[in-house]
Structure 1
Amino acid sequence: MRKLSRRQFLKGALGTFAAGLLTAGGGYGYARYLEPQMMVTVKQTIKSPLLAGGLDQFKIVQFSDTHLSEEFSLKDLEKTVLHINDLHPDLIVFTGDLIDKPHIYQDHYPALQTLKKLSAPFGKLCVFGNHDHGGYGSAAYENLMKAADFEVFRNGLKTIKLLDGSQLDIAALDDLMLGKPDYKGTLSNLRDDVFAILLVHEPDAALKAKAYPVNLQLSGHTHGGQIQLPFYGPLITPPYGKIYTDGMYKVDGMQVYVNRGLGTTRLPLRFLAKPEITIFVLRGTD
């Protein structure tokens, strides 16, 4: 019989306790039917001297981990699209995991038609998550997102240029779990004098990305654990989402933001981990 570590024992005990608490206290109905529908908009202000001029007040909206399925339906996606457009973003980014089970999902065309309605003057960018590669779905995801007018990035770099000459570098890495992320080949091209944003599905990419001139990393993947406990945080998080799990972190000279996503996977539950859309407002400083 394998001996459990103290940490494993505590996590198991807490998991059992949480499940019992949710069931006994009527919390299951809340976690199953209410909180997954409580989408919130989180505003983050990002300040840097590199964001002066035309980039001051530039707005980026991030959404992530829709996991399209019976649990997060096309109707939910339509509501999300309407809400994002109401925020009037300058740029929209999607940080992976569009469909929960790509090998069985059938509503690709309605999904792309819905995503096509998203609008931002500086475009729509997306990266691969592990579910986008899973189930032999890599080509299907790329084709769907391109048809919805997204630029699909796998180890790529894009420079956004404003009329006043201001520039913003957007780098992207392939999924860490099932893709082939190229840190050096992608991030070594970033410039010290231009604000750089890294899009990568898994947040723990920051452990390597911090060696490069990345100012802000945007990730998803963890769903905030889907189930959190007060004073403890997420019960379980996936590989490459163990260190940075929810919200904003400072990693050396870089900021890392982990979006909780919109859908669910494995269990259709959320508790103290409301689904979110994040809007980042860039601000120049003296």
Structure 2
Amino acid sequence: MAGAWRGVARSVGRSAARIGRNAWPYALAAVPAGVATWSVAETRMFTLRHDRVTTLAAGNEPLRVLHLSDLHLLPTQRAKLRWLRSLKDVEVDLVVLTGDLIASPDAIEPLRQALGGFLDVPGFFVLGSNDYTAPRWRNPLRYLTGPSSEDEAETDETPLPTDELRAMLTSGSWTDLTNRRDEVEVRGVRVTAVGVDDAHLDRDRFPDRAAATEAEDRVPTVHLGVTHAPYTRVLDAMADDGCDLILAGHTHGGQVRVPLYGALVTNSDLDTGRASGLHGWPGARPDRRGGEVSTWLHVSAGLGTSPYAQVRFACRPEATVLTLVQPRGEG
């Protein structure tokens, strides 16, 4: 009897081995299918991130800044619209939008409804290429060879109602920073800002430095730089202008990232190590206590994708609340 059972066991083992040898091609084939499924699902895994930035003068209360970018909104994206509406309960003092907000003329009113709770909060915005013209299909593999060109971005594209979008965004308390400067006072802090049009389309024209006023000596000041595409020429100009914090989008955080490696591209001349998140500029390894960083750079991975490349991998769609605080040891 024991010998019979040993024979059965050997037979089962041989069968299992044959099945295993035959099954491994199917297992390998399942890997890309699983990655593709996850990449589509991840486009709806919206995340609200939080970070602290040491910029405020001594004695000021923390200032909360909501950074939104690259929504690429379509009116049919109900999950994204629901998530945006859910942000109404987030307490912020200032809103900054860094472009590529819509992907369709019909998206302006849904965007207004989704962000309506913030329209009366002081804010700044600039626009991106997809706020001027509707997206069209391009081979996504071309992004691996370098940034798409201005000519490529503007050829045979359909204009979007940019003036209508601007009118909606300025209907409350938000200020258009397209190649200009402005300022607001928020909770006793004078927030000055300089912005440029989309550098990816070579529309950026850095505005001249405003003359100093007596008020600057009396009211604590935070100076912001706002741009859609984080090209180094713009970042350098903003750092030279004395910006405490630069806010940008455009990169989608790489959109498809390699685990343990990071982004492969930024679609600009920004290094991939700063494709998203908070970094020093130009320093690559900032001291987060504020001791060695004069200009911070925050690049948002954004909330959307092109309608023709609706995938993300290891790069969840995001908005960020940046809390501006004073450096340790001050106050």
- Settle same-fold status: TM greater than 0.5: yes
Paired with 1:194 and 1:152, the residues of 2 have a C-alpha distance of 20
1:63 maps to 2:104: no
Q: How does 1:17-166 map to 2 (within 5 A)?
A: 24=32, 26-33=34-41, 35-48=42-55, 50-53=56-59, 55-69=60-74, 73-83=77-87, 85-100=88-103, 102=104, 105-118=105-118, 121=121, 123-134=122-133, 135-137=158-160, 138-147=162-171, 150-162=174-186, 164=188, 166=189
4+ residue runs over 4 A deviation: 20-23, 186-193, 240-243
Paired with 1:203 and 1:22, the residues of 2 have a C-alpha distance of 37
Deviation at 1:188, TM superposition (A): 8.2
Paired with 2:33 and 2:196, the residues of 1 have a C-alpha distance of 43
1:206 maps to 2:229: no
Paired with 1:63 and 1:47, the residues of 2 have a C-alpha distance of 20
For residues 203-261 of structure 1, give each alpha carbon's deviation from its aligned partner in whole angstroms, at most 9, with x where no partner exists: 22313322221111011111111100023322333135555311112114311011100
Q: How does 1:211-222 map to 2 (within 5 A)?
A: 211-222=240-251
SS at 1:268 equivalent: coil
Residue identity matched to 1:176: A
The change in CA–CA distance for 1:224 and 1:180 in structure 2 (over 3 A counts) is: same
Query: In 2, are the aligned partners of 1:112 and 1:148 still within 8 Å (CA)?
Result: no
Query: In 2, are the aligned partners of 1:223 and 1:261 still within 8 Å (CA)?
Result: yes
Paired with 1:114 and 1:231, the residues of 2 have a C-alpha distance of 35
Number of corresponding residues: 257
Query: In 2, are the aligned partners of 1:195 and 1:215 still within 8 Å (CA)?
Result: yes
For residues 53-85 of structure 1, give each alpha carbon's deviation from its aligned partner in whole angstroms, at most 9, with x where no partner exists: 3x4211111111110127x715522421322x2
Query: What residue in structure 2 maps to residue 185 of structure 1?
Result: 208
Cα RMSD between the aligned structures? 2.9
Deviation at 1:128, TM superposition (A): 0.9
Query: In 1, are the aligned partners of 2:70 and 2:252 still within 8 Å (CA)?
Result: yes
Query: In 2, are the aligned partners of 1:155 and 1:186 still within 8 Å (CA)?
Result: no
Query: In 2, are the aligned partners of 1:171 and 1:199 still within 8 Å (CA)?
Result: yes
1:274 maps to 2:303: no
Q: What percent identity do the matched residue pairs reach? A: 23
* Structure 1: segments with no counterpart, 5+ residues: 1-19
Deviation at 1:151, TM superposition (A): 2.4
